[in-house]
Amino acid sequence: MLLLSTVLVFFYTTLHLETTYGHQPGQDGHLKGHDMKTQPPERESRSTPAPSFNASTLMGLKEMIPQNGAYWNRLLYSAPEGRKKDVNGPRRAAPWSRCAETNRDHLHTNVHDFASYPVLFQSFLESMSCRSPPPLIEQPRKRETDTEGSDQVFLLFAIKSTPENFAQRQAVRETWGREGAYPGGARVRTVFLLGSSTPDDPDLTLLLRTEARHFGDLLQWDFYESFLNLTLKMNTFLEWAQKRFPDVSFVFSGDDDVFVNTPLVLSYLQSVDSSKASQLYVGHVITSASALRDSTSKYYIPVSFFEGLYPAYAGGGGFIFSGALLKPLLSLSLVIPFFPIDDVYMGMCFKALGVSPQAHGGFQTFDVKDKDRENLCVHKRLMLVHQRTPKQIKMLWRGIQSPWLTC
């Protein structure tokens, strides 16, 4: 896969590249069969305002999580007042490069069995109070309204990726993540969210910079790629999106190996009642989940770290939420301590806002039945399936778009 990525990226270096990481003029272009001049859907006035963060916001979350000696539970119950106390550890007290180091003595004092935690979990705890990692690759021109004065974005795709996953990103660009205006005028933009390679991985810096210059859709920050760093990645994206796309209608958060039926997603979002649009949180909802105590699982949560049930949450493979929730979600992330499982953490934040996840059968984050995996008619009726290879993504996209398909 790495060899394939290298060949493909260097192929693109033969093209004319701009010297900045932003979009090239006219890069959005015309989507085949779609008119960029089509007027976007009018933004209806919302009769129900988006919830905001206030002193009582955390009550709903605290009602289902006990106040006890588990470290995360103590942090939750010390917020927001706890930011003045030692229990929360040093917050923003040190530069990013030294933030984790300043937390170690605090952790050994407050987590009695810290030394028994898996190494990656220890690393997560050391940096869980660190925020705002510096960017390694930015997109200065990536804004809701571009230089031509185009209309505001209806749907922003925020795709979690990793440095080596070029083929997955390219398949998304060529299919469901293609930017531009779709029928009805709904304008779509796409960004891929990356951390940095670990010291044990090949250094892909030059390849990523080339890719970023050409496509203008990579965002990379200075933290190592890790399953336990996905919460940090999501939080950093929220901070970026609040600045660059403050008026976006909806945000899709998902993985780079999902298949999304974009026309169906847009049709669904355009049909959402205006009274519900500002509080939308929809996907494959997982209910009655609790922490796994098997230390061999990547979802392992030690008892001394967290006790309690998880709130209902939308699976992280792909879910959609209202752009009006960007600001309150970002505010909550400053007082709800980071949790090592990103979709559970987002569920906690939505729970604190009083926004319940809406289950939709069109989101199949655990995939469809084996017999339906290549059935185009099944996929044409779904909004998301997980997982698919780049080749499968392209085949499914061509198939459901074919005028010859009869279902």
Digit-coded pLDDT (tens) for 234-285:
999 999 999 999 999 999 999 999 999 999 999 999 999 988 999 999 999 9
> The dihedral of CA 200, 201, 204, 208: what is its sign?
negative
Confidence class for position 389, pLDDT limits 50, 70, 90: very high
Confidence class for position 134, pLDDT limits 50, 70, 90: very high
Show the domains of the chain with their CATH numbers.
59-127 (no CATH), 134-401 (3.90.550)
Mean pLDDT for the chain? Answer: 85
Question: What does the pLDDT read at residue 80?
Answer: 61
- The predicted-structure confidence for 23-68, as pLDDT tens digits, reads as follows 333 333 334 333 333 344 444 444 477 777 665 778 889 999 999 9
% of the chain exceeding 70 in pLDDT: 82
- The predicted-structure confidence for 224-236, as pLDDT tens digits, reads as follows 999 999 999 999 9
C-beta separation of 63 from 298 below 8 A: no
pLDDT at 84 over 70: no
In b/e form, how buried is each residue of 5-28, taking b as 16+ CB within 10 angstroms?
A: beeebeebeeeeeeeebbbbeebb
The alpha-helical segments, DSSP class H, found in 216-357 are 230-244, 262-271, 326-332, 342-353
Report the SS3 class of residue 259.
strand
Mean pLDDT computed over 379-383: 96
Question: Looking at residue 350, what DSSP letter applies?
Answer: H
Question: What does the pLDDT read at residue 226?
Answer: 95
- The predicted-structure confidence for 165-201, as pLDDT tens digits, reads as follows 999 999 999 999 999 999 888 999 999 999 999 999 9
Bridge-partner residues for 320, per DSSP? 252, 282
% of the chain exceeding 90 in pLDDT: 69
- Separation CA 358–CA 350 (nearest Å): 11
What pTM was estimated for this model as a whole?
Answer: 0.85
